[in-house]
Amino acid sequence: MSNDTIKSISPIVLPPLPYVDNALDPVISAKTIGFHYGKHHKGYVDNLNKLIADTEFAEMTLEKIITETAGKADKTAIFNNAAQAWNHAFYWRSLKPKGGGQPSAVLKTKIEASFGSVDACMKEWSAAAMGQFGSGWAWLVLDGGKLKVVKTGNAETPLTMGMTPLLTIDVWEHAYYLDYQNRRADYVEAVLDKLINWGFAADNLG
């Protein structure tokens, strides 16, 4: 599945979850999905559609709205809701039931070339997820032919940094608080170990 699947023109739609709401249990409970997808993600999409109605942004793709509003102080609300709508759609696809394990051979070779080993990549990714102060995201990206780990605050996204996102982990508290309370490390470790969707990353490599 490529990034193209989450492109859409106004009204921006809430893409369906790629699995049933209890499919990630027990790492991420149906209760968390209910709030995270059904309230938070849906809220960003609904807010965005209200904000862009009858504006120049109404006919743009979600990606275009994000790049057109990034860094513009008078467009912060549109950027935040658009980027969060995109980031969440990408996050749901970054996970899958019975995920984790080892990446495919092609992706593994690229990871080894960039990080030394899959284990070193996972350690750096986990450290980025833990090191993001407050709300944000920890990403595996393709940047100039190399794989990198980057973290972004709040709604910020590598899409505006000339990077190709491959996978992401949401580290906003709403992603884990019901299941893990303040134990972000336990959530990150469990997601990387049991849910991360290496096939999605390989697809995004192009």
Contact residues for Fe ion (CB under 5 A)?
170, 172, 175
CB of 132 to Fe ion, least distance (A): 13
The answer to whether 115 and 148 are in contact (CB under 8 A) is no
- Which residue is nearest to Fe ion, using beta carbons? 170
The C-alpha atoms of residue 100 and residue 177 are separated, in whole angstroms, by 22
Neighbours of 119 (CB within 10 A): 10
For Fe ion, the closer of residues 147 and 175 by Cβ is 175
3-state helix, strand, coil in the chain (%, to 5): 55, 15, 35
In the chain, the amino acid numbered 141 is V
CB of 135 to Fe ion, least distance (A): 8
The C-alpha atoms of residue 22 and residue 116 are separated, in whole angstroms, by 35
For Fe ion, the closer of residues 57 and 92 by Cβ is 92
For Fe ion, the closer of residues 27 and 147 by Cβ is 27
For Fe ion, the closer of residues 172 and 198 by Cβ is 172
For Fe ion, the closer of residues 48 and 107 by Cβ is 48
The C-alpha atoms of residue 172 and residue 179 are separated, in whole angstroms, by 13
CB of 175 to Fe ion, least distance (A): 5
CB of 36 to Fe ion, least distance (A): 6
The C-alpha atoms of residue 154 and residue 137 are separated, in whole angstroms, by 7
For Fe ion, the closer of residues 141 and 175 by Cβ is 175
Orientation angle between helical segments 198-205 and 76-94, nearest 10 degrees: 120
137: three-class secondary structure by DSSP: strand
CB of 129 to Fe ion, least distance (A): 13
CB of 200 to Fe ion, least distance (A): 17
- The DSSP line for 93-112 is HHB-TT--S---HHHHHHHH
